[in-house]
Structure 1
């Protein structure tokens, strides 16, 4: 790898001209380097500053597109950098290309400066002046602002650059208003986390990787964030200095199987008072409902946790009858620290576990609501012939059903008697936790089927849509499609991108899905050019 393959890869890149000069000619004094997404960001940033190929050549600027970030084709880069005064590496996060640039020029620097993470050795407020940080992503506006300032410092001040920076400053100035509304992702209707993330009043829980992280946006005394395998590690460090005696730590079954069991080992070794709340929901819900790797079962988790040294394990489920102490192994049969409970007893179980010295585990067993929906549609899981409705004539609009269930399917309904509540039948996953409140307005229907909506008009009644008037594209045309998960944002972006491709236009589509499956915001940025 070190003696042969790296240099063979460099030779391959050089022979196939994977890295190349795009703008400018030999003799330029300022060189800009980028790869992949950052290359597109750089091109966009230069356009914001009014710099095209001809203007770049006039200003003595040349650009270098890297096709193979590692190993960098040192010889080709060295040839391109000949005669430059300044090389600027536009690179987000870890600086992979920048360090190789410095290696390529180290023995033949000739006063050439390399800017990237920092602005050479210049300091500001006791620290090296940062240009392109190693955290978060870069965007064209940020790059344009940084490049514009650097070019002016290098004597390339032009009316175009100043006008571009002024437009960006105006845009920044308009982006300082307080948000009047925010679209926060939320647990799905009937999600196990609606119940599992509850903690007794006055207690604290920590979050980690998984859907349960969203509980921090709800009033449930849950804080913190950590990487997979680090759950509870923050409490190991905090506990000796805290007046709090105990905390809960949320943990998904996928994370447990990946590396979360190591965090439990660490807590055991440290002797901290902590209860790990492991949600066994039978799916990797956050990324599409894939099955957990391996043949993980509740029995195997109990077996492993007892072997690790856990002396108290409580299994809580919406269907506790599926379990009994008659497990298949004597190792579990003889385990006196195991108990099975209905989820209605969750608070009482947590109050008991908080008094236990050392590390304890609560396994909350309930199938992911989204996965339930998928399986019921496929006919591989029973679909209860029971639906819940709210009688609006009886409902007083107190909202306790929403408090009890934390469910998105409990929605407001405006009536002549004021705002009431109703159940969104199209979204309901039949968790039935909404009926736990003290309310006489609920009606359950057994065996009934929902009526299907009838079409308001036939297809023949719709007039033919006129062809749109297409704008003239002298500069790249930008479109942003915004919405929430499930409303077709990605589809619209993809259709626009493909239509532009068929029309032989240059196009790029950047989608940001985030927590789309959890009703979070989704955007699709479409850029079209000739």
Structure 2
């Protein structure tokens, strides 16, 4: 193995990635509006950022809470959907900068966007720096889990604590209480749940694997249909 040649190619690959490919990806994202304001106020006070499945789950939580586009506009809320997850730049962040007081970053498992937002906001004037919450709250205590996938009821609970009190109404409290009761019921009855071994939905082995009469086991040790 030519280690000198290998090292040279590796450095050239890194240069191409940082100097050519990533700027090209950012230009593509900007031209095609991959990252955009999903809905909300034109002059927001409160912002939320999410990406991928976390964004879809966040939208479901907001729908359950009755936070529609009209209500978000009236209340000064703005929701950003980020699709292109490569390095952020200042040019990609003005949608949440001017006048925003608080930002909630919703991500499944470990934080990826949140540290980048904090890094960008660090050099802003002190009177323009929003409070940025996500995996940690304002006191540095755990807020959103960075280990497991976030559940809808967990998102609702965090949003209820994140939004100013004047934003909360009886409908939102009712939804939060209902989700909490469902979660408590599931935790109390989880050990009673049982699933009998069977084929996955749509699995062709459901009909193709036929065991002769009298034979208790069939399988080639490679497929999902190995079973007693």
Under TM normalisation by the shorter chain, which class is it? 0.7 to 0.9
1:48 match = 64
Q: Is the 8 A contact 1:46 1:52 kept in 2?
A: yes
The structural deviation recorded for 1:38 is 0.7
2:91 match = 75
SS of equivalent to 1:99: helix
Q: Is the 8 A contact 1:93 1:136 kept in 2?
A: yes
SS of equivalent to 2:191: coil
The structural deviation recorded for 1:157 is 2.1
- Which 4+ stretches in 1 moved above 6 angstroms? none
Q: Which structure has the higher relative contact order (CA within 8 Å, separation 6+)?
A: 2
Q: List gaps (5 residues or longer) in structure 1.
A: 123-127, 189-287, 289-369, 378-386, 390-422, 432-514, 520-530
- Number of aligned residue pairs: give it: 200
2:34 match = 18
Determine which of 139, 143, 146 is the counterpart of 2:155: 143
The structural deviation recorded for 1:64 is 0.4
1:131 match = 143
Distance in 2 of aligned mates of 1:107 and 1:22: 26
2:12 match = none
Distance in 2 of aligned mates of 1:516 and 1:62: 46
1:114-193 pair list within 5 angstroms: 114-120=132-138, 122=139, 128-152=140-164, 155-175=166-186, 176-177=188-189, 179-183=191-195
The structural deviation recorded for 1:45 is 0.7
What are the superposed Cα offsets for residues 71-111 of structure 1, whole Å, 9 maximum, x if unpaired?
33541323433210011110011211112212232221523
The structural deviation recorded for 1:65 is 0.8
Q: Which moved more, 1:169-178 or 1:59-68?
A: 169-178
What are the superposed Cα offsets for residues 122-174 of structure 1, whole Å, 9 maximum, x if unpaired?
0xxxxx31122211111222111111121145x42222221221221222233
1:277-288 pair list within 5 angstroms: none
The structural deviation recorded for 1:518 is 6.4
Determine which of 112, 119, 126 is the counterpart of 2:130: 112
TM-score norm. by structure 2 comes to: 0.74
1:389-468 pair list within 5 angstroms: 389=214, 428-429=217-218
Distance in 1 of aligned mates of 2:77 and 2:95: 15
- Structure 1 residues 4 and 119: alpha-carbon distance in aligned structure 2, compared to 1, 3 A threshold: same
| Cα RMSD after superposing both structures | 3.2
Distance in 1 of aligned mates of 2:226 and 2:87: 40
Q: Is the 8 A contact 1:10 1:74 kept in 2?
A: no
1:102-501 pair list within 5 angstroms: 102-108=118-124, 110-120=128-138, 122=139, 128-152=140-164, 155-175=166-186, 176-177=188-189, 179-183=191-195, 389=214, 428-429=217-218
Q: Is the 8 A contact 2:41 2:74 kept in 1?
A: no
Question: Greater share of strand residues, 1 or 2?
Answer: 1
Distance in 2 of aligned mates of 1:168 and 1:21: 28
The structural deviation recorded for 1:516 is 6.8
Determine which of 19, 35, 38 is the counterpart of 2:51: 35
TM-score norm. by structure 1 comes to: 0.34
